[in-house]
Structure 1
Amino acid sequence: MTPEKIDCLIIGSGPAGYTAAIYASRAGLNPVLYQGSQPGGQLTITTEVDNYPGYPDGISGPEMMINFEKQARRFGTDIRYGMATEVDFTGYPHKVIIDGKKEIEANAVIISTGASAKWLGIDGEERLNGRGVSACAVCDGFFFRGQDVVVVGAGDTAAEEASYLAKLCRKVYLLVRRDEMRASKIMQKRLETLPNIEILWNTETVRLNGEEELESVLVRNNKTGEESVLTATGFFVAIGHKPNTDIFKGYLHMDETGYIQTIKGSSCTNIKGVFACGDAQDNVYRQAVTAAGTGCMAALDAERFLVEREVEVAMEETA
């Protein structure tokens, strides 16, 4: 089958991918965007977004992503269903396989495949996701002001989430599976200074209770076997995220957990013509607004790369 030739290919949607599409379309790059396995990204499972500028009354995550998609289409982005399943960045143009069968040759590739939160896999977790269950305190903590919440995790992320929630909530239970934390000493010291945080050591979550919304959490001490119920309206899973970057391994430089490494101050990767934006390369902020910002950067970097390449080709042809 003859490969489809594309100037600018965007892999993945969400705030980063759609913003890249908007800028690339307006720059005349004729971008093609494949939405991936979760069109719209993680925001499609977020009920209310209250911290994105321009929405004084807030907006639901799915509605926001519909608006992003509409705006990208308005400027001419070719948005398609499908998922990149394989790449070959050893030559040029870059080769990308969609759904295991369709081959694309792209002059510039923008990666916006995001990252997925790691979940516990316990009873009630999926059913109550967005109705008390969250993987982002900064995103959703505001909705639990003055209430009792639970945080699960033992690393810096869990310590940061618990500290953030302690400023908003009446009580924060931090569940740690072992008798010690992996978090840095300075983060653990910070937890000790916050009187409304209670750390429950050697404690695991058994079940989340509630029909329409989270009402309580059943926990078990894994040393004594004793079970107890914590009354809480919020449950925050802070055991890490996994970037959706497996297909790029062996081609792009990544950190030990799989986040794509970009050249400082840009979206450029170690492969010319390949750019990364959003949560696929951001293990620090992971916010919709920062993802959108890096999506803008990726489109501008891709435009600059394609213009420079046209000039180089023209010079070679006249030489």
Structure 2
Amino acid sequence: MIDVIIIGGGPAGVAAANYARARGLEVLLFEKNRIGGLITLTTIVSHYPGLDTDESGESFGIKLEEQLNSNDTKVIFEKVEKVELEGEIKTVYTSNSKYEAKTIIIATGSEPKLPPIDKTDGYLIKPNVYEKIADAKDKEVFVLGGSDGACKEAISLARYARRVHIVQNQNALLTIHEFKEQIENNDKFIVHTSSELESLKVDKDEITEVNIIDIVTGKVKQYADGPYLVFAYIGQTPNSSLFIDLLEMEDGYIKSDGIRTSIPGVYSCGDINVKEMRQISTAVSDGTLAGIEAYNYIRKG
């Protein structure tokens, strides 16, 4: 019988593992891709205390994995396919086996949303193109989204790209002053507010045309001198399908008091929760509390 099973290896899940292991609990962590989760797709991690200068999402993820190794957290890289949460014994199923635990910590986070683009007029329309930042060298690129995350990635792209278009469906960029000021003071940027990606044309796996529609006027701007790169940062979709019929939910996110769900011994932390702010710092805070509360639950049990 395992003390704690953690589902998800992002900052929240790693923090939960660290604090549970420090209290002597046996911890098993499941991650379907790689340690770090969504943050590993970020070019530069910012504002979190103690970061190296220009800390990349990839290097941050490596540090998280090193922490798990240093405290002997057992990590299994498998997708969890089913969970049973009621009762004193919680069960997790993968395609290979089943595992039982006294407590479960859910830290499954979220995945990037994709633009609602499909095949039209016989052309292959790619819903999302994730490219390495360095591939933007001397190219014209489009960033979909105007939030903090989108603007931060756009700023990183501007180091390499010839020109960066930011396509925001609101009437202004919804980002912090720090990022807005950098964009306004760099002539590489073209900002398209009240606009969306209408369509792409792709030829031999290269985007040759980008069409941007003004959602107020209906006017379409066509860019037909590709190749272009397109990066989508238009929000996230919660990884909550396992829990839809098991826990109290709101818009696909788990409802809790911060970490405690509606089932005793089951905790949720990080971006999977209903919450106002989704940052690394808030995820780590949730994970810290979840790891400690799992220990308290077992100790009292």
Shorter-chain TM band: 0.7 to 0.9
Listed one character per residue, the Cα deviations across residues 13-61 of structure 1 (whole Å, up to 9, x for unaligned) are 0111111111111111111111123442112222332333212413221
**Is 1:252 aligned to residue 255 of structure 2?**
no
Structure-1 residue corresponding to 2:99 = 104
Contact 1:134 1:140 in 2 (8 A): no
**Is 1:166 aligned to residue 180 of structure 2?**
yes
**Alpha-carbon separation, structure 1, partners of 2:157 and 2:177:** 14
Structure-2 residue corresponding to 1:93 = 89
C-alpha deviation, 1:63, in angstroms: 1.7
TM-score relative to the length of structure 2: 0.75
Structure-2 residue corresponding to 1:143 = 156
Structure-1 residue corresponding to 2:110 = 115
Q: How many residues are treated as equivalent by the alignment? A: 273
**Is 1:261 aligned to residue 249 of structure 2?**
no
C-alpha deviation, 1:207, in angstroms: 5.8
C-alpha deviation, 1:130, in angstroms: 4.1
TM-score relative to the length of structure 1: 0.71
Contact 1:217 1:229 in 2 (8 A): yes
Structure-1 residue corresponding to 2:270 = 278
Q: Which amino acid aligns with 1:206?
A: L
**Alpha-carbon separation, structure 2, partners of 1:288 and 1:239:** 18
Distance 1:241 1:64, change over 3 A: same
Distance 1:70 1:221, change over 3 A: closer
Distance 1:59 1:239, change over 3 A: closer
SS of the residue 2:183 aligns to: coil
**Alpha-carbon separation, structure 1, partners of 2:89 and 2:20:** 18
Q: Which amino acid aligns with 1:76?
A: D
Report the more deviating stretch, 221-230 or 19-28: 221-230
**Is 1:36 aligned to residue 32 of structure 2?**
yes
Distance 1:301 1:207, change over 3 A: farther
**Alpha-carbon separation, structure 1, partners of 2:75 and 2:213:** 49
Listed one character per residue, the Cα deviations across residues 75-105 of structure 1 (whole Å, up to 9, x for unaligned) are 1211111121101223321121123x41112
C-alpha deviation, 1:169, in angstroms: 0.5
Structure-2 residue corresponding to 1:55 = 51
SS of the residue 1:25 aligns to: helix
Contact 1:108 1:273 in 2 (8 A): yes
Distance 1:38 1:200, change over 3 A: same
**Alpha-carbon separation, structure 2, partners of 1:253 and 1:138:** 33
Q: Which runs of 5+ in 2 are unaligned?
A: 118-124, 137-142
**Is 1:154 aligned to residue 157 of structure 2?**
no
Q: CA RMSD in A?
A: 3.8
Structure-1 residue corresponding to 2:281 = 289
Distance 1:267 1:200, change over 3 A: closer
**Alpha-carbon separation, structure 2, partners of 1:198 and 1:163:** 18
Structure-1 residue corresponding to 2:120 = none
**Alpha-carbon separation, structure 2, partners of 1:129 and 1:304:** 43
User: How do 1:11-22 residues align onto structure 2 when only pairs under 5 Å count?
Assistant: 11-22=7-18
Listed one character per residue, the Cα deviations across residues 278-316 of structure 1 (whole Å, up to 9, x for unaligned) are 11115543222221221111101111111111xxxxxxx
**Alpha-carbon separation, structure 2, partners of 1:39 and 1:305:** 26
**Is 1:126 aligned to residue 129 of structure 2?**
yes
Listed one character per residue, the Cα deviations across residues 233-255 of structure 1 (whole Å, up to 9, x for unaligned) are 99663533110010011111111
Structure-2 residue corresponding to 1:184 = none
**Is 1:307 aligned to residue 289 of structure 2?**
no
Structure-1 residue corresponding to 2:6 = 10
Contact 2:170 2:194 in 1 (8 A): no
**Alpha-carbon separation, structure 1, partners of 2:64 and 2:55:** 12
Contact 2:200 2:210 in 1 (8 A): yes
Contact 1:252 1:260 in 2 (8 A): yes
Q: Which runs of 5+ in 1 are unaligned?
A: 173-195, 310-319
**Alpha-carbon separation, structure 2, partners of 1:71 and 1:51:** 20
Contact 1:36 1:113 in 2 (8 A): no
SS of the residue 1:290 aligns to: helix
Structure-1 residue corresponding to 2:139 = none
Distance 1:296 1:226, change over 3 A: closer
Residue 82 of structure 1, aligned match among 59, 62, 78:
78
C-alpha deviation, 1:126, in angstroms: 2.3
Contact 1:23 1:299 in 2 (8 A): yes
